[in-house]
A and B are shown apart, each in its own frame.
Chain A
Amino acid sequence: MSATKTVAVRLNGRDRNIDIGHTVLTLLAELDLQPGMVVVELNREILERERYADIEVNDGDSFELVHFVGGG
């Protein structure tokens, strides 16, 4: 077992281990993403931006982080 405390999450289809104790807001900061430019879906539920700071990242969470791109 690793000594560092991490949680295993799925981020945009990829498995990642991140430090324990993140909220959605600090996770976005860690990923260098501006909260206002991202929409977060956590375990198939869309999170309102006001909740990012309150929601803790748990082991097994699955995130989809989406944004607008060019399209027709």
Chain B
Amino acid sequence: MGSGLKKPETPSGLDGSLHVGGVDFVSRLIVGTGKYKTNEVMVRAIRASEAEVVTVAVRRIDLDQKNEQGILHHLRPDEFFLLANTAGCSTAEDAIRYARLARAAGFNDFLKLEVIGDANTLLPDVHGTLEAAKTLAGEGFKVMAYTNDDLITALRLEDAGCVAVMPLASPIGSGLGMVNPYFIREIKRRLSVPVIVDAGVGTASDACVTMEQGVDGILMNTALAAADDPVQMALAMKHATVAGRLAFLAGRMPSSEIAIPSSPVIGMLD
């Protein structure tokens, strides 16, 4: 099944698409909509990224403000696939409540589940995440679960019925890049559902390194929103995501700690 949206062209040489929860997306890049200086820059950056899936958060309407605070006044739901998150929730109960509110908005059954366990690091509460994932998957949600880079939790989330598991590259908003490629690769090797790295990417090389691990996709927000020029960074991230995927598919050369000449060692002049 398609997402129902107009498809960007598949970049030349790239395999298939990101298939998650029964929907195909051409782009392996998912972007957030938070923290942009203006809504106009946000929309231009997201368009430049060519991401099809964009994340949104559920919040109270500020009744003292006049209209048009909502993201849907700026992002057209027929142009982007809206992936609601449960950001800010610190218990399974809260996350379940926010998830149900998000689904009642009427766009789709997909949910980016986040249950945060610690305010300083924003690391996930894996017990709360697992508990919420079980309940929500049972209610028919297509749960994409944000988690840490722990293999066992990732396996449990898959068992709980998540349609994607989303380990972090490094803490949310940190821009530290991929700190544990070994565990990310191990998670990818062991899971059947898509693995989408979520959080921690700072710049294009981080996105490229992430995709080189063989993961199915990558989700980022602050790397775009907090760049000096979010539109230009979005373009860089689009290319980096594709480049990393292509490099993974190509299969990199073995690395060596000694030099190996590229030119013939015979035929040199006396």
B61 contact from A12, A48, A49, A70, Cβ within 8 A:
A12
Return the chain B residue nearest A71 by Cβ: B57
Answer whether residue A46 sits at the interface, using C-beta atoms and an 8 A cutoff. yes
Answer whether A65 and B63 are a contact pair too, CB < 8 Å, given A46-B104, A71-B87: yes
Contact partners of A69 in chain B: CB under 8 A: 34, 56-59, 69-71
Return the chain B residue nearest A31 by Cβ: B63
The smallest beta-carbon distance between B226 and chain A, in angstroms, is 11
Contact partners of B82 in chain A: CB under 8 A: 68
Answer whether residue B222 sits at the interface, using C-beta atoms and an 8 A cutoff. yes
- Report the interface size for chain B: residues with CB under 8 A from the other chain: 40
Interface of chain A residues 22 through 43 with chain B (CB within 8 A): 31-34, 37-39, 41
Contact partners of A5 in chain B: CB under 8 A: none
- Report the interface size for chain A: residues with CB under 8 A from the other chain: 24
Return the chain A residue nearest B222 by Cβ: A72
Is B105 touching A70 in the complex (CB atoms < 8 A)?
A: no
B34 contact from A32, A41, A71, Cβ within 8 A:
A71
CA distance A70 to B34 in the complex (A): 4
Is B32 touching A71 in the complex (CB atoms < 8 A)?
A: yes
Answer whether residue B67 sits at the interface, using C-beta atoms and an 8 A cutoff. yes
Is A70 touching B60 in the complex (CB atoms < 8 A)?
A: no
Return the chain A residue nearest B42 by Cβ: A70
CA distance A33 to B58 in the complex (A): 16
Answer whether residue B6 sits at the interface, using C-beta atoms and an 8 A cutoff. no
Contact partners of B32 in chain A: CB under 8 A: 70-72
Contact partners of B84 in chain A: CB under 8 A: 68
Answer whether A33 and B56 are a contact pair too, CB < 8 Å, given A72-B35, A72-B222: no
Please encode chain B, from 21 to 48, with 1 for each CB lying within 8 Å of some chain A CB and 0 for all others.
0000000000011111001001000000
Q: Which residues of B contact A (CB under 8 A)?
A: 32-36, 39, 42, 55-63, 66-67, 69-73, 82, 84-85, 87, 100-102, 104-106, 172-173, 199, 219-222
